Structure 1
Amino acid sequence: MLARTTVRQASRLVSSSAAARTAASANGAKLAASSARSCSILSLSRSSAAASSLRASAVLPAVRAAAARFHASSRASEKDRSWVDKGVVTYAELKPETQAPSGNITIIDVREPDEVAQGIIPSAVNVPLSKFQTAFAGTGTGGNFVRDFGFDRPQFDDALIFYCRSGKRSQEALDYARAQGWWNSRNYTGSWLDWTANEEKK
């Protein structure tokens, strides 16, 4: 009788121990699953944060460019537009500026170097149209401008006159410059052909 009782007690202990191990194993599996879910959520959160950062870094330059154009436009509305509102530049208006430069106007030749080698309007500087968009990007600092073109990059409010051979490329330069914030700009539509024709009359 005592032996049977002892066997039953031992059997109960074994069953209880097995049940405890099973419960512990189940709890361990739950903890592991919970930990995996937490890691997955953390990983997704980090990925989402990284993606947001990448999107922000991609959008920021465009936002800055738009802001620069907006502020330039705001400045233009507050400035004296009497000079720029004269419209296209004529030979008669340009000639005195080349004889005695005021220092208030920058004349920019947008022809290519091989064309400039054949002659240039006195006191003009050269920024080829092929390099113009990079040189006059509104968000740029102009750090390499002096090295590349030999003069300081104009400020947004500076008075600029563009010319080329016949006025077409200089109009492109004018349109781009204004779009980037150089509102105080005009085009010498007659350009080099008109200049040389008038100079030859003398």
Structure 2
Amino acid sequence: MFRGTFIRTAKTATRSFAVRPAIVSLKAVRLNSTQTPSAKPQKTPEELARKAALEKQDNLQRDWDAKVIPYEEFLVKTQNPSPDTYIIDVREPDEVIQGMIPSAVNIPLTVLANALHMDRKQFAEKFGFEKPRTSQEVVFYCRSGKRSTSASDVAKRNGYTNILNYKGSWLEWTAKENEKAASK
């Protein structure tokens, strides 16, 4: 602001030095009377709603990775099934033929997003078990841990809040179970 005023007044040779401070102070008075640099304009309800939605989205993405559950903790969940915990195998049906982890249910990753959008009745008819509530503990696994990570992301985007990812998945499970069987 001062620089522009000084340059403008320096270009005009007819103005005296005494006039320049008056011009600066008049501009400063005009600025202070209409808008101060520190004053923020009030936001509309639409802007506030948009800001709140963006903050909610940021909160969802802030801790995007689901908690990874190690084999030892996962084993306990498979040995003591609970109606409060769902263990979901996200492999395709032709992979599930090889076997499943005890107490798991299957929802292939390719249909998971659509499945989580179904109403409870449609879900039960299609998959043969009750749809997990968004607050229930849900543990995902696949073959090697990549699709279970994607499934965790899909569930989180759909409002699920208690998500665990068994990244060891089917490969680690079968290796550990084979080790136990060989040591007996």
TM-score (norm 2): 0.61
- The residue identity in structure 2 corresponding to 1:148 is K
Distance 1:195 1:147, change over 3 A: same
- Alignment-derived partner of residue 91 in structure 1: 71
Work out the CA distance in 1 between the residues paired with 2:104 and 2:164.
Answer: 14
Match of 1:135 among 115, 130, 153: 115
**Equivalent residue letter for 2:112:** F
Residue 151 of structure 1 and its aligned partner are, at CA, apart by: 0.7
> For residues 66 and 111 of structure 2, what CA distance do their matches in structure 1 show?
28
List structure 1 runs of 4+ shifted beyond 2 angstroms.
none
What aligned pairs does 1:5-84 form with structure 2 within 5 A after superposition? none
Alignment-derived partner of residue 181 in structure 1: 159
Partner Cα distance (1:148, 1:86) in 2: 26
Instruction: Identify the structure with the greater helix proportion.
Output: 1
Give distance in 2, aligned partners of 1:136 and 1:92.
Answer: 28
**Matching residue within 129, 134, 139 for 1:156:** 134
Whole-Å separation in 2 of the counterparts to 1:142 and 1:133: 14
Aligned-residue CA RMSD in angstroms? 2.3
Contact kept, 8 Å, 2:134 with 2:160, in 1: the verdict is yes
Q: Pick from 170, 173, 177: which aligns with 1:195?
A: 173
Letter in 2 for 1:95: L
1:135/1:142 contact within 8 Å kept? no
Name the aligned partner's letter for residue 175 of structure 1. Answer: D
Query: Do 1:160 and 1:186's aligned partners in 2 also have CA atoms closer than 8 Å?
Result: yes
Q: Name the larger-Rg structure.
A: 1
Aligned length: 121
Q: Which runs of 5+ in 1 are unaligned?
A: 1-66, 75-84
Task: Give the TM-score of the pair, scaled to structure 1.
Answer: 0.56
Q: Deviations over 1:143-191 (max 9, x none)?
A: 3111111111111100000000001011111001001100111110010
Rounded Cα–Cα distance in structure 2 between residues aligned with 1:160 and 1:134: 17
Contact 2:87 2:140 survives alignment (8 Å): yes
Q: Which residue of 1 aligns with 2:19?
A: none
The AA in structure 2 aligned to 1:127 is I
Consecutive unaligned residues in structure 2, runs of 5 or more: 1-52
